Amino acid sequence: MAKAARRASWIKVRPEGLFVEPGGFYVDPTRIVDRAVITHGHADHARRGHGAVAATAETLDIMRVRYGKTPFKISQTLRFGEKINITGVTVWLAPAGHVLGSAQVVVEYKGERVVVSGDYKRRPDRTCIAFEPVPCDVFITEATFGLPVFRHPDDTREIATLMHSRELFPERCHVIGTYSLGKAQRLISLIRAAGYDRPLYLHDSLLPLCKLYQAYGVDLGELLPATADEKGLPRAGLEGEIVLAPPPSISDSWARPLPDPVICMASGWMRVKQRAKYGGVELPLVISDHADWDELLTTLDDVGAPEVWVTHGREEALVHAARLKGMEAQALRLIGYEEEA
Amino acid sequence: MEQFAHLLDRLLYAPQKITKLKLMADYFIHAPDPDRGIALALLTGALDLKNAKPALIRQLVMQRVDPDLFRWSHDFVGDLAETVALIWPERATNAAPPRLGELPEQLAGLKAPEAGEQLAGWLDTLDATGRWALLKLVTGSLKVGVSARLAKAALGDAFETSVDEIEEIWHGLEAPYEPLFAWLEGRAPRPDMSNRAVFRPLMLANSLDDMELVKLPLADYAAEWKWDGLRVQLAARGSERRLYSRTGDDISAAFPDIVDFMTFEGVLDGELLVVREGEVAPFDDLRQRLNRKRTTAKMLQQHPAHIRLYDILFDGTEDLRGLGFEARRARLEAFWGREQPERTDLSELIPFDSVEALEALRAGSRSAQSEGLMLKHRHSVYQAGRPAGPWFKWKRDALTADAVVMYVQRGQGRRSSFYSDYTVGAWRDGEEGAELVPVGKACSGFTDEELKKLDKWVRDNTANRFGPVREVTQSLVVEVAFDSVHRSSRHKSGVAMRCPRFHRIRWDKPAEEADRLESLEKLID
């Protein structure tokens, strides 16, 4: 039996990342290139210094906030569903539900449709537009939580645990380690949804992106800087309050002035006890902005692609599970993408 | 079950005792009977639910999960019970989750394959945390860092009762402790334990330093050796005979050579020692008898246990705790003369007439196999806890050695951002010249200011990182104080210090001038 021609052979894996050859552009390149389409603003997907960048308005703004005046030479803003033609290749974006402005990149060429999903999740999130499955021939997916042990619990219960802990330890402050883009704002919106309306105190590095979210109309309630002086150390009087800070700060010298902090960490990895213990976390919160195992598999069913390519994470298990479903599957072994903190 | 599972989950991560106390107290207040009683029994170790071997758990999960996916998952997570808890396929079920209060009865007498089916049925009804707790309980591998004493203290906190009052009736009670909770909640009188060999909280001494000694009205005090063993209580009532540790743990099972000979009625206070031909053996000999599930005949013969009696709390059913020390001592001597209890002797009172004489005695305590001296007020009544004034311990001077800092780890709780746990080493001749080998781990003895300086030094002098452990350049000498040195097969050096702590930081001293291993080996007693 003759072997069928490989699907989407016009997409290449290069050291810079995923290259759409007939269009002459990369998707989320990890090195500096001339033309890039960017799925979302996390630093490993949106590097600084590309020539031309196409992305959603939110993603471009996130890059501007993070990288200052010259994150790229020129940019093209794409609305979801808006089709553009790059030297014969049709490109459009669909929501990915990962962080504000996050998109899947849909690429169509010679009758084949490939979806580069970037990072995504399927859970409701008030801070970004929900993932929309796009039927395609090849679905390119992440596998950050690509093992069946990763099944994120209900967010509201994780927040309830946090609130209960706050009642139990009113004299202590709860400091939550959280990534500055996406996780922080999602966490804040979940805390607000639980009816908590006191001010939340933020490490300086979290404030700029929260302001951007607010400018895009995401309601985050009252946010105050956790720091009071030019040294950047926490202010006094944070007993009973909730403080958000990037993960490296919560158990290091920055956190020392906090009143007997309960070290919390919001991450999908917190599902594994050793991961939490190892990081000195006292209250793990299993909250992630990535798809869990069930969501990854559901998504494969939803897009109905005969073939799946896995970019990063625990590729072998997802490839194996896709094959068990009768799909063709392979790991691309793209380097340079980081795991969720 | 889920309420208790979430408590266990939080206890697992809680680094501070005070946090654990609050978490448990909150549970005891809010959980219903008999669940909380079973929880209390599990936390204090009065009960275990061990019923399944890891092979059974593995078999159950293999019937439900693709073997490759399981293998990758197990590799990633590490722990079998946790992997199974996380990977267990969730499905809608009408069955109710198991009730903690009913688990012991339901598990009792269950054997494979029924045990497997029952377990699988329960796992279907629980969330991931519930599955983890259940699997850890039935495989007997649950470790959440809670001692029996801490669990009882939490119970005291929950119902604003002193832990001593709970201790005094504890050993007459059984899971699920409903009369205990009824009393704690003011719904019933305190359970009557007058006919039981229950634990009576011990009286403890305060440390004394040389300066305070001079001020003490010495004529009012009696002196005896502070023996280096395990402080225990012997309680016998009717046919019930028990040996309790200082904290009220029932250690009778490990010491049949004591308990079998408790033919008297009463409650005695003494030191548990290993004694061979009248000579007290080093503490390490006793250590080998502790924490054993089974005591072999060989162990009993080679490490014979002995009690050196300090005090008497009850003679028969007569409570003597209200008498003064001298009066109790007279009763103890009379009791001992009358009962002639085997494998015991009396801790002798040491006569002295001056501070100088006491100092000379204390200086000789190391050769007397004792830890120092005890000073007890002649009229002191026997009070639970550590009252200020009546009893003092005056320990012999610690041994010291200059050791080199080798590895450092962060502390726990309030110290979690500081490098505060120091593994120190001594020099020996290795194959490639002088090398350092670890001899102990010191985590105390420095001031907060010194800790800040040490922390900075560690960050500036890190040579290697192994996960949470930092290897540092071999350049900082610390004068370490310790109580004694014993042989240890767990340390590469073959020796380990007992209670090592910082005495002085020798910022100026070159590492090459630190002590050699041989000088520590000479201190093994």
Do A109 and A169 reside in the same domain of the chain?
A: no
Q: Are strands A242-245 and A200-202 parallel, antiparallel or unpaired?
A: parallel
Least Cα separation, residue A204 to chain B (angstroms): 20
Both A111 and A226 in one domain: the answer is no
Q: Residue A22 has what DSSP assignment?
A: G
> Is the domain of B466 the same as that of B363?
no
The answer to whether B514 touches B490, Cβ cutoff 8 Å, is no
pLDDT-based confidence at residue A340 (cuts at 50, 70, 90): low
B-chain residues near A156 (CB < 8 A): none
Q: Which residues sit opposite B233 in a β-bridge?
A: B244, B269
Shared-domain flag, residues A31 and A133: yes
- Cα dist. B438→A9, B405, B464 in Å? 59, 9, 16
Residues A85, A159, single domain; the answer is: no
Do residues A129 and A16 share a domain?
yes
Query: According to the model, what pLDDT value does residue A3 have?
Result: 44
Residue B424 is assigned to a structural domain of this protein: yes
* A273 vs B contacts (CB less than 8 Å): 12, 79, 82, 132
B115 is a domain residue: no
Element (H, E) at B518: helix B517-521
| Same domain, residue pair B447 and B506 | yes
Does residue B414 belong to any structural domain of this protein? Answer: yes
pLDDT in tens, A261-292: 999 999 999 999 988 887 789 999 999 999 99
Pair (A172, A96) in one structural domain: no
Please tell me which of the candidates A149, A276, A320 has its beta carbon nearest to residue B77.
Answer: A149
- Provide the shortest C-alpha distance from residue B142 to chain A (in Å): 13
Q: Is the pLDDT of residue B267 over 60?
A: yes
Q: Alpha-carbon distance B149 to B165, whole Å?
A: 13
Higher pLDDT, B212 or B260: B260
Average pLDDT of chain B is 91
Residue B415: the pLDDT is 76
Tens of pLDDT along B153-190?
999 999 999 998 999 999 999 999 999 999 999 999 99
Q: How many domains does chain A have?
A: 2
CA distance B77 to chain A (A): 6
Over the stretch A227-258, which tens digit does the pLDDT of each residue have?
Answer: 877 777 888 899 999 999 999 898 778 888 89
Give A148's contacts in chain B (Cβ within 8 Å): 65, 69-70, 73, 86-87
Verify that B306 and B445 share a domain, yes or no: no
Please check whether residues B321 and B425 belong to one and the same domain: no
The pLDDT tens digits of the residues spanning B36-72 come to 999 999 999 899 998 888 999 999 999 999 999 999 9
* pLDDT tens per residue across span B268-306: 999 999 999 888 888 888 888 887 767 888 989 999 999
Which residues in chain B touch residue A234, judged by CB atoms under 8 angstroms apart? none
3-state secondary structure of A318: helix
Quote ipTM for the complex: 0.93
pLDDT in tens, B455-473: 999 999 999 888 788 999 9
DSSP strand pairing (B266-276 vs B230-237): antiparallel
Q: Give the domain extent around B406.
A: 399-521
Residues of B in contact with A153 (CB under 8 A): 127-128
How does pLDDT run across B421-431, given as a tens digit for each residue? 999 999 999 88
**Measured at the alpha carbon of residue B245, what is the angle toward residues B239 and B250, in degrees to the nearest 5?**
45
Res B405: pLDDT: 96
pLDDT value at residue A286: 97
**Could you tell me if B240 and B353 lie in one domain?**
yes
Pairing of strands A11-14, A17-20: antiparallel
B389 with B473, same domain?
no
CA angle B480, B481, B486 (to 5 degrees): 100
C-beta of residue B410 within 8 angstroms of C-beta of residue A278: no
Same domain, A162 and A142: no
- Per CB-CB distance under 8 Å, the chain A contacts of B6 are 161
CB distance B210 to B358 below 8 Å: no
Name every chain B residue with its beta carbon within 8 A of the beta carbon of A151. 86, 90, 128
Asked if residue B208 has pLDDT above 70, the reply is yes
Q: Do B82 and A273 touch (CB under 8 A)?
A: yes
Cα A58 from Cα A102, distance rounded (Å): 8
Considering B366, B395, B424, which residue would you say is the last residue of a domain? B395
Confidence of residue B228 (pLDDT cuts 50, 70, 90): confident
A16 plus A129 within the same structural domain: yes
Nearest CB neighbour to A251, from listed B13, B77, B417: B417
At A161, list the tokens. 């645990």
In angstroms, the CA B310 to CA B345 distance is 9
CATH code for position B391: 3.30.470.30
Closest CA relative to residue B101, chosen from B2, B28, B34? B34
Tell me the CA distances in angstroms from B425 to B184, B431, B484, B508, B525, one per residue in order. Answer: 50, 17, 16, 17, 20
Looking at the structure, do residues A254 and A300 belong to the same domain, yes or no? no
- For chain A, how long is the longest CA-to-CA vector? 74
Indicate if B412 and B314 belong to the same structural domain.
no
A1 band by pLDDT with thresholds 50, 70 and 90: very low
The verdict on residue B29 lying in a domain is no
Query: Which chain B residues are within 8 Å of A274, Cβ to Cβ?
Result: 77-79
Quick one: how far is CA A188 from the chain centroid?
16
Q: Which two tokens stand for residue B107?
A: 């598990």
Nearest to A139 by CA among A25, A12, A19, A8: A8
* Among candidates A169, A274, A281 on the partner chain, residue whose Cβ is nearest the Cβ of B78: A274
Note the pTM of the prediction, 2 decimals. Answer: 0.85
Cβ pair B86:A283 closer than 8 A: no
Token reading at B138: 């039935």
pLDDT number for residue B66: 96
Asked if A284 is an interface residue toward chain B (Cβ–Cβ < 8 A), one would say yes
Same domain, yes or no, for B343 and B287?
Answer: yes
pLDDT tens figures, B322-331: 999 999 999 9
Q: What is the pLDDT of residues A168-179, one digit of tens each?
A: 999 999 999 999
- Indicate whether B239 belongs to any domain: yes
Comparing A198-207, A243-252, B304-313, B336-345, the range with the smallest average pLDDT is: A243-252
> Can you give the pLDDT at residue B292?
74
What's the total number of domains in chain B? 2
Decide if B100 is inside a domain: no
Residues of A in contact with B13 (CB under 8 A): 276-277, 281-284
Does A277 sit within 8 Å of B72, measured CB to CB? no
Helix (H, G, I), strand (E, B) or coil at B505: strand
| Structural domain boundaries enclosing A85 | 11-149+290-331
Q: Are residues A142 and A233 in the same domain?
A: no
Q: How far is A261 from chain B (nearest CA, A)?
A: 8
- pLDDT band at residue B413, thresholds of 50, 70 and 90? low
- What is the per-residue pLDDT across B359-387, written as a single tens digit (0 to 9) for each? 888 888 777 778 889 999 999 999 998 88
Percent pLDDT > 70 in chain B is: 98
- Confidence grade of residue B389 (pLDDT, cut at 50, 70, 90): confident
Instruction: Classify the C-alpha dihedral B477-B478-B481-B486 as positive or negative.
Output: negative
Q: Say yes or no: B516 and B501 in one domain.
A: yes
Asked whether residue A194 falls in the same domain as residue A231, the answer is: yes
Read off the CATH number of the domain in which A94 is found: 3.60.15.10
The last residue of one of the domains, among B369, B395, B421, is B395
Judge: B128–A151 Cβ closer than 8 Å, yes or no: yes
In a domain, A339, yes or no: no
Assess whether pLDDT exceeds 70 at residue B198.
yes
Phi, psi dihedrals of residue A208, rounded to the nearest 5°? -60, -45
Could you tell me the CATH number of the domain that includes residue A186? 3.40.50
pLDDT for residue A2 = 40
Helices (H) and strands (E) in chain B, counts: 20, 20
Give the SS3 label for residue B386.
Answer: coil
Interval A42-52: pLDDT, tens: 999 999 999 99
Closest CB to A271 among B26, B86, B417: B86
Q: How many CB atoms lie within 10 A of CB A54?
A: 23
Which amino acid would we find at residue B82? Answer: E
Best A144, A262, A281, A282 member to test B by mutation, with max B CBs in 10 Å, is A282
pLDDT above 90 (res A189): yes
Domain assignment of residue A254, yes or no: yes
On whether both B255 and B365 belong to a single domain, the answer is: yes
Q: What is the CATH number of the domain that holds B426?
A: 2.40.50.140
Instruction: Assess whether B382 and B406 both reside in one domain.
Output: no
Hey, are the CB atoms on B86 and A153 less than 8 Å from each other?
Answer: no
**Assigned domain for B141 exists:** no
Q: Which of B395, B416, B442 is the last residue of a domain?
A: B395
* A 145-164 residues with CB < 8 A to B: 147-151, 153, 161
Calpha distance B410→B419 (Å, rounded): 4
Do the domain assignments include residue A2? no
Contact between A236 and A228 (Cβ < 8 Å): yes
**Beta strand B495-498 with B484-487: parallel, antiparallel or unpaired?**
antiparallel
**Contact status, residue B118 vs residue B161, Cβ threshold 8 Å:** no
The beta strand positions in A7-119, using DSSP E, are 11-14, 17-20, 25-27, 35-37, 50-55, 72-77, 84-86, 89-95, 103-109, 112-116
Spatial distance between the Cα atoms of A78 and A59, rounded to a whole number of angstroms: 10
- Through-space distance between the first and last CA atoms of chain A, rounded to whole angstroms: 47
Shared domain check, B512 and B406: yes
Q: Is the pLDDT of residue A118 over 60?
A: yes
Same domain, A56 and A78: yes
Is B124 within a domain?
no
Instruction: With beta carbons less than 8 A apart as the criterion, state whether B379 and B310 touch.
Output: no
CA dist., res. B69 & res. A255, Å (int)? 39
Question: Is the Cβ–Cβ distance between A95 and A245 less than 8 Å?
Answer: no
Which member of A151, A252, A272 has the closest CB to residue B77?
Answer: A272
